[in-house]
Structures are given as C-alpha cells and as structure tokens.
Amino acid sequence: MNITTINKVLIMIAHALVGWMLCSATIGIGKTMLSMQLTLIVHVILAPIFFAIIAFVYFKMFNYTSPLMTAAVFLTIVMVLDAGLVAPVIERNYDMFRSTLGTWIPFLLFFLSVYIVGLKLKRLHITK
C-alpha cells in the first residue's frame, strides 16, 4: 500500500470512529439519565442521523468509495469495535448482541443511512 491508499483508509476509519463514538456516548450518557429501554430508543433514532451526517461529510469531501462499500466499511468497523472492545472489555459480556433494538436495528439503520446519503449525493452530483 502506498501513502495515498493508507491515507484513504485512515480517513474512512476516522469517519466510522466518529459515528461509533457518538453512538457510544449516546448509550453511555443515556444510561445515566434514562431507563435502558429509553436509552436504546434514543440510540436507534440518533445512530442513523449521526451516520447520515458523517456520510454527507465523507462523500462531499472525500468520496473514495461507492455508497455500498462505504456503508459496509463503516458497519464492519463498528461491529469489530463493538465485538472486540465494547462487549468484552466494557460490558464484560456479549449480551448486547442479543438485543435487536440495542444493536441490530441501529446497525441496519445506520448502514441504510450511509448508503442512501451516498446514492442521493451521487445522483445530485454533489460528491467530490
């Protein structure tokens, strides 16, 4: 890999990390102020919004990959972080993956939001 390719990969990772951190903060703050059920509802609403904004920035400024590839990469990074860090280190169990509302619906919705934002921006010729 050359420096340009490495930079492109790092930019994609950075964008996915921002979304993951915003979602993590939503859960972390929500758990201290709300019931877990309400926290998960807030998270399922905010996750696709966070990632739609991040996708908008990514496609406007960088646009290195297709909408489908970008959504897949962002989802993969988030899933790896959740499975490799959040579940074993922070939660100390993998129960979060049993929650449709807490994990699987947000994954699906933010994947779709990234994909749809990318498609719309490409159709409108707004991407870089």
Query: What pLDDT is attached to residue 30?
Result: 97
Alpha carbons within 13 angstroms on the beta-carbon side of residue 10 total 7
Residue 80 confidence (pLDDT) above 80: yes
CA-to-CA separations, 81 to 124, 125, 128, in angstroms, rounded: 33, 33, 29
Query: What pLDDT is attached to residue 87?
Result: 95
CA-to-CA separations, 101 to 20, 36, 110, in angstroms, rounded: 16, 11, 13
pLDDT digits over 84-123, tens only? 999 999 999 999 999 999 999 999 999 999 999 999 999 9
DSSP annotation string for 53-87: HHHHHHHHHT--S-HHHHHHHHHHHHHHHIIIIII
DSSP state at residue 90: I
- Sorting pLDDT into bands at 50, 70 and 90, what band is 125? confident
pLDDT top residue among 2 and 24: 24
Query: What pLDDT is attached to residue 2?
Result: 82
pLDDT digits over 7-45, tens only? 999 999 999 999 999 999 999 999 999 999 999 999 999
Do the Cβ atoms of 54 and 12 come closer than 8 Å?
no
- Sorting pLDDT into bands at 50, 70 and 90, what band is 127? confident
Do the Cβ atoms of 96 and 102 come closer than 8 Å?
yes
Do the Cβ atoms of 64 and 8 come closer than 8 Å?
yes
Report the Cα 79 to chain-centroid distance in Å: 9
